[in-house]
Amino acid sequence: MKHGPLRRGLYAITDNQLIPAGELADRASRAIAGGATLIQYRNKPLSAVVHMDEIAALAVSCRRRGVPLIINDDIELAAEVGAAGVHLGRDDSDIESAREHLGKQAIIGISCYNDLLRAREAVRRGADYVAFGRFYPSQSKPEAALADPAVLKQASMELACPIVAIGGITPANGLALIEAGASLLAAIHGVFGIPDIESAARRYAELFMDG
């Protein structure tokens, strides 16, 4: 399956601790209805149960809505469910392995924390987007080192790929990161930790309307 350029906007990341069993596809669909342009399936901790039927249903739902589904960390899972691609961190598989397993059309994203050199190298090796963060206090990764918004500006000037900002981002603080150079804002609790997921997603999406 071919994928066009990633669209600016909300990158909604699921969390198995926030989404009850059986509701994954439905809740992601609500985020898409609110304007999410990219969805990531994230299943932490690694010991958590993986419900293959749910993830496959999520992949189908995303394809029907024209929104790419990215799988966090797991290349094999991404291939098995026919996801659009995979997101890799510092301790995950390398870009070359992901490309070999998922094909040249797959979307491969790389966590770069506050490291512009890592981002440059990731793009050189074929990453389709790079992610920086955390920028604010984060419920998902409270121990992660803070990133400087200046890295977004420098990355957006140097790198010919989408720039993702992640970590404690809300509709109230996200605009500054867009202005600094982020083309996508990633959120977990700010979307899936809110009772009205569609409205929560829309508040993020609206930040991009004037940009």
Full DSSP string of 121-150:
HHHHTT-SEEEE---S--SS-TTSPP--TH
| DSSP code, position 181 | T
In this prediction, residue 144 has a pLDDT band, given cuts at 50, 70 and 90, of: confident
Catalytic site residue 141?
yes
Contacts (Cβ under 8 Å, ≥6 apart) of 94: 88, 125
Residue 29 belongs to domain with CATH number: 3.20.20.70
Residue with the bigger pLDDT between 12 and 141: it is 12
* pLDDT of 20 strictly over 60: yes
What is the token pair recorded at 124?
């050189």
Asked whether residue 185 is assigned to any structural domain, the reply reads: yes
Asked whether residue 152 is assigned to any structural domain, the reply reads: yes
In this prediction, residue 1 has a pLDDT band, given cuts at 50, 70 and 90, of: very low
Asked whether residue 90 is assigned to any structural domain, the reply reads: yes
Question: Of the residues 141, 153, 156, 202, which is catalytic?
Answer: 141
Catalytic site residue 111?
yes
As a whole number of angstroms, the distance between CA 202 and CA 12 comes to: 11
Question: Of the residues 111, 138, 140, 183, which is catalytic?
Answer: 111
Model pLDDT for residues 43-101, shown as the tens digit of each residue: 876 555 678 899 999 999 999 999 999 999 999 999 999 999 999 998 767 999 999 99
Asked whether residue 127 is assigned to any structural domain, the reply reads: yes
Asked whether residue 2 is assigned to any structural domain, the reply reads: no
Domain that holds residue 21: 9-208
pLDDT at 139: 76
pLDDT at 211: 52
* pLDDT of 145 strictly over 90: no
Asked whether residue 1 is assigned to any structural domain, the reply reads: no
Other CB atoms closer than 10 Å to residue 136's CB: what's the count?
17
As a whole number of angstroms, the distance between CA 110 and CA 89 comes to: 6
Full DSSP string of 25-47:
HHHHHHHHHTTEEEEEE---STT
Asked whether residue 149 is assigned to any structural domain, the reply reads: yes
Asked whether residue 64 is assigned to any structural domain, the reply reads: yes
Model pLDDT for residues 2-18, shown as the tens digit of each residue: 455 799 999 999 998 89
As a whole number of angstroms, the distance between CA 211 and CA 189 comes to: 24
Domain tally, the chain: 1
- Nearest partner of 139 among 177, 183, 184, 170, judged by Cα: 170
Model pLDDT for residues 160-169, shown as the tens digit of each residue: 999 999 999 9
| pTM of the complete model beyond 0.85 | yes
Question: Of the residues 42, 99, 134, 203, which is catalytic?
Answer: 42
